[in-house]
Amino acid sequence: MAKHVVTMIPGEGTGPEICEAVRMVIDASGVDIKWEYEDIGLDCLEKHGTLLPDKTIQSIAKNKVALKGPTTTPIGTGHKSANVTLRKVFDLYANVRPVRLIPALKRPWDKLDIINFRENTEDSYAAIEHMVSDEVAQCLKVITWPGSYRIADFALKWARDNGRKKVYCVHKANIMKMTDGLFLEAFRAAAKKYPDIETGDIIVDNCSMQLVRNPGQFDCLVLPNLYGDILTDLCAGLMGGLGFAPGANVGDNCAIFEAVHGSAPKYAGQKKVNPSAVLISGVMMLRWLNEKEAADRIEKAMYRVLDEGKRVTYDVGGTAKTDEYAQAIIDKMHAGLK
Ligand code: NAD
């Protein structure tokens, strides 16, 4: 019997080719994982009549851990995002999105090492929307004290457990006095339990400007859902692109690891895109599974391949295909990182 059983959801667009490359690298690290492949998304709707089949839900519920590729969500009309549904079904309330400098990606910052904690279940993402008339649409922004308190507490605890020093709450409570006001109040209440962590708050528009001007000043940020979605893409840009931004959706009972980026459908089938973001999400998953050595080995090999710059994907100036870049990382691991 394998040591770990992980639900693998390749997703759509470029998702399957990325996930295949990532599986190759993780398997080559020697960690003993049995992968259970499951479907999700629009292709799945055609095959099974639903975006999120029961079989996929049951597999995640049983294994309590999944690695997921991106899915495609049509803009405007159509179906509710399978991602948002998945986060709700498993109450994955914490979306952890770290960004840090990758040496091979030449960036103008001296320091970039931020962990974003995005609240993942509430806010205007609760999808409570309706047409008031033909010309007026309304969306409800729902923020609760328990929802806000638990993401604040999660972030503060994570910060303490991982030796981080500073956690700031991002909000717009000067204008949205009740909703964002409650989010901030809950953060301040949770912060009282962590006197060893420096805490504070910053208004989301100022935070956006400060991130671009001097990202090195930030350590950990706690954000409501919508601001978190937007600012973590901004942070991915600071890092050097969506191809490198990983993430985890964490609840009290299970965790689903996935990149920040989407399915990049225009590149689907070309084996062109960078699998690093899903691979780093996989590395986060290995640490979650207590497979720290394998995680470190993969990460070091990936950095080494990027430093050499010979077998890398188009977005970092190379010509390697998705699987060729994965093979380069495997070769580096097998060569003992020489
Ligand atoms: P996207 O992230 O898929 O792509 C935007 C652009 O970023 C791409 O055209 C490409 O130039 C670049 N890019 C993205 N991933 C890359 C990678 N791995 N390597 C190199 N370059 C990469 O965003 P989009 O085009 O706005 O969305 C496409 C679909 O993905 C939409 O249906 C959207 O709803 C969905 N989406 C899904 C998730 C998810 O499943 N978690 C997240 C975001 C968007």
pLDDT in tens, 26-63: 999 999 999 999 999 887 788 888 889 999 999 999 99
Model confidence band, residue 189 (pLDDT cutoffs 50, 70, 90): very high
Q: What is the 194 CA–ligand 1 centroid distance (Å)?
A: 37
State the DSSP code for 79. Answer: P
pLDDT tens-digit readout, 108-126: 999 999 999 999 999 998 7
Give the pLDDT band (50/70/90) at residue 18.
Answer: very high
The model's pTM: 0.92
Q: Which of 14, 52, 263, 266 to mutate to test the pocket of ligand 1 (most atoms within 8 A of CB)?
A: 263
Please indicate whether residue 323 is annotated as part of the active site. Answer: no
Q: Give yes or no for a contact between 120 and 93, defined as CB atoms under 8 angstroms apart.
A: yes
Instruction: Give the model's pLDDT for residue 1.
Output: 86
Handedness of CA 115, 119, 123, 124 (dihedral sign): positive
pLDDT at 140 over 70: yes
CA atoms within 13 A on the CB side of 227: 22
Structural domains of the chain, with CATH = 1-93+243-338 (3.40.718.10), 108-239 (3.40.718.10)
| Region 245-253 average pLDDT | 95
Q: How far is CA 126 from the centre of its chain?
A: 19
Is the minimum distance from the CB of 69 to ligand 1 under 6 angstroms?
Answer: no
Closest ligand 1 atom to residue 275 Cα is: 18
Marked catalytic residue, from 27, 91, 205, 307: 205
The predicted model gives 198-210 an average pLDDT of 98
The CB of 92 under 6 Å from ligand 1? The reply is no
Confidence of residue 77 (pLDDT cuts 50, 70, 90): low
Listed in sequence order, the residues at least 6 apart from 69 whose beta carbon sits closer than 8 Å to its beta carbon are: 9, 10, 11, 12, 14, 15, 16, 18, 19, 258, 259, 263, 278
pLDDT at 74: 67
| Atom of ligand 1 lying closest to residue 274 CA | 19
Tell me the two tokens of residue 300. 């070091």
Report the alpha-carbon distance of residue 279 to residue 23 in Å, rounded: 8
Percent share of the chain, pLDDT over 70: 97
CA of 242 from ligand 1 middle (Å) equals 8
Q: What is the pLDDT of residue 131?
A: 95
Residue 76: its pLDDT value, please? 59
Confidence class for position 75, pLDDT limits 50, 70, 90: low
How far does residue 271's CA lie from ligand 1's centre (Å)?
A: 15
